Structure 1
Amino acid sequence: MLKEKVPSYYFDKDQNCAETLLHVINDEYNLGLKEEDFLLVGGFGGGCGCGITCGALSASIAALGKMFIKERAHATEGFIPMCGEFVEEFKASLSSSDCSILKAKNFEEGKRCIKTVNQACDLFENFIKERS
């Protein structure tokens, strides 16, 4: 389960939502990412630093890319619509895809956005199970 590994990255290693989500997905699904690869999603935390798209959502889409793209996104049949489905499920499940809205709803002092990260983990796992 993805959520079980979240505290070790989110709290112990002080990673942001995007870094944490991509790490736990990499661990669970053996994506083969190297440590420097996680730098690619670091800027997605905090809604890209300005409260827009949730970093947990952005990292989830990045993980879907690693899992499903064969050569290029637009050449991988069904990939772009699948990403759209994931975004819509994310918004339906968490009530928004915007960091500023999710933070206002879920942020807790000392716990940061752990609730959002855990919800994103559950959503990702279910999304993948439905497609396996």
Structure 2
Amino acid sequence: MSQGDDYKAIEWQDDLENDQVATVHLLAICPGYQGRSLGIRILEEAEEIAGRNGKKALRLDALKTNIPARRMYEKAGFSYKGEQRLYAENTGMTDFLFYERSIFTDVQTGPTGSGRDTELMKEYIDKRVHKLYWDEDLNCARTTLICLSELFKVPLEEQVLSSAIGLHGAGKYGAQCGLVEGSLMFIGILYQSMEKTENDIVEACYDFAKQFEEEFGSLRCCRLRPTGFSKNDPPHMCEQLTGKAVLFSYEYINGSL
């Protein structure tokens, strides 16, 4: 469906024309089928259809009071973008929340076999990292988790993202880098969803850490970010490193599957 006029007042992640956006205005699951993640599967299918039709984003709205729907959208990877008080025939004047998820269409998920594929993936990741850093002001661990979840189409619980709030060098202490922490967390989430054993997950984390250290020279924030953290640092000074690390993590995970 197309966007309504009420969507124009929202500050969306990307400035897109109407024909570049798909919109879900109503999503309902029969009570007898609720609790089976069908809503998320429907949204994933909607994204696939929208992507095949050249859309760049999937947008939707929800009643502010509809907490289960809001949690589902956030779990499915949608980002909150704004709120408006609008009139609806069945509710009268009501507060609505608006959500958006970018559609990954420029490159295909899967091993980056050709140089062109790798370059397209790098461009996509760099753009996504930039937006998560500067528009959402997220740290490296949460940015890594979100990027990988979108690339592999694995929804994240809000609690998972919350657990990574202080993982940028252990709250700026300079300990293990958030790029490593976020990737290790995602490996556990992805492998568990694939019914891998705990031993498989442990071995994959060990091997990832070893290869990351060989590629970047260290696992520690104080080494990867030699200046440490100070009030005089420019914001998000690890942006370039983050893009490289997310691409490395993506290629490592793809190669391990």
TM-score for the superposition, normalised by structure 2: 0.46
The structure with the largest helix share of the pair is 1
1:25 maps to a residue whose letter is L
Q: Determine if the alignment matches structure 1 residue 30 to structure 2 residue 153.
A: yes
Determine the structure 2 residue equivalent to 1:7: 130
The 3-state SS of whatever aligns with 2:138 is: coil
Q: Flag structure 1 segments of 5+ consecutive residues without an equivalent.
A: none
Counterpart of 2:152, as a letter, is Y
- Counterpart for residue 109 of structure 1: 234
Alignment of 1:84-99 (within 5 A): 84-99=206-221
Q: Any conservation in 2 of the 1:70–1:76 contact (CA below 8 Å)?
A: no
Shift of 1:69: 2.1
Higher strand proportion (structure 1 or 2): 2
Q: Deviations over 1:5-57 (max 9, x none)?
A: 11111111100100111111111111111334311111101x11210100110
Q: Aligned-pair distance for 1:115?
A: 2.2
Percent identity of paired positions between Structure 1 and Structure 2: 23
Kindly report which structure 2 residues correspond to 1:65-84, keeping only aligned pairs within 5 A, or say none.
65-69=188-192, 75-84=197-206
- Kept in 2: contact 1:53–1:97 (CA 8 A): yes
Question: Structure 1 residues 129, 71: closer, same or farther in 2, change over 3 A?
Answer: closer
Distance in 1, matches of 2:235 and 2:155, equals 31
- Which stretch shifts more, 60-69 or 112-121? 112-121
RMSD: 2.4
* Residue aligning to 1:123: 248
Structure 2: segments with no counterpart, 5+ residues: 1-120
Q: How far did residue 78 of structure 1 move?
A: 2.0
Q: Distance in 2 between matches of 1:128 and 1:66?
A: 12
Alignment CA distance shift 1:4-1:20 (3 Å): same
Q: More displaced, 52-61 or 96-105?
A: 96-105
4+ residue segments displaced more than 4 Å: 70-73, 105-108
Cα deviation, residue 111, structure 1: 4.1
Deviation, structure 1 residue 126:
1.3
Q: Which has the higher contact order (CA 8 A, sep 6+)?
A: 1
Please state whether the residue corresponding to 1:32 is helix, strand or coil. Answer: coil
**Whole-Å Cα distance in 2 between the matches of residues 117 and 38 of structure 1?**
17
- Residue 63 of structure 1 and its aligned partner are, at CA, apart by 0.2
Q: Give, as a single letter, the amino acid of the residue that structure 1 aligns with 2:149.
A: N
Structure 2 CA distance for partners of 1:56 and 1:63, relative to 1, 3 Å: same
SS at match of 1:15: coil
- Greater Rg by CA: 2
